[in-house]
Structures are given as structure tokens and as C-alpha cells.
Amino acid sequence: MGKAPKLAGTGFLVVLLLVGVALTGCTKRPNPEQLTQLEEACAAADAAEQTVVEKEAELQRLQAELAQKQRTLQEVQREKAAAESRLNALRGDLQQTQAEMDRIIRERGTPPPPPTSNR
């Protein structure tokens, strides 16, 4: 990816120069306006190359951030699966306890009195 933007910046500069030559014709020396245009084109190419460098750095930073967030997501998904497993085990225990209470109630014939609070 590093070569393509540099080639694009260089290609941009070459196209600008060719357009400048085609519009003004070939002379031994460029006139001041052509020199100014060339300097502006070089400055624009430098700025474009700097922007490319900055964007590549930002891309790398974002890719690293994405990788970290994906690792975090995987960890959270593992924790969720473990919590769901524990919850299902608790539900099974609750059903087993409820079944045991129902059996005791059937054997005794009356439900146990509700607990009273001593406040």
C-alpha cells in the first residue's frame, strides 16, 4: 500500500508538468508563472504524500484498535456462555428443588406454612 500512494503523487506531478509544457510550449527556460505553478505542484504533491503517510498511520492505529475490540468481544462472548451455563445449572437445581418440595407436599398432604418475618 505504501508504493501506490507515492506513485499516485508522483504521477500527479508528472501530469501537471506535461500539461504545463503542452500549454506553454517548449522553451529553454520556464517563465516565472511556470516556476510558480511548478512550486505549487511540488508543494501539493508533498502535502498529498504527507496526508498519505498520516492516513496510513491512522489506518494502522484503527486496525490495531479493531483487533483489540475483537479480542475483547471474544472474551465477553466466552464469559456470557459461561454465565448462561451457570444459569442453566441453577435453573436445573431450582427445578429439582421444586420437584422435591412438591413430592414432600404430596407425602404430607399440606403445604408448609410460609415463613414469618420477625421485625
Q: What is the pLDDT of residues 74-113, one digit of tens each?
A: 999 999 999 999 999 999 999 999 999 888 888 887 666 7
CB atoms under 10 Å from CB of 9, counted, come to 19
Q: Per residue in 23-53, pLDDT tens? A: 656 667 878 898 899 999 999 999 999 999 9
∠62-67-73 over CA atoms, to 5°? 125
pLDDT of residue 30: 79
Question: What's the pLDDT at 104?
Answer: 85
Contact 40, 22 (CB under 8 A): no
CA distance 68 to 66: 5
Handedness of CA 25, 26, 28, 31 (dihedral sign): positive
For residue 67 the three cell numbers come to: 483487533
Q: Is the pLDDT of residue 22 over 70?
A: no
pTM score? 0.51
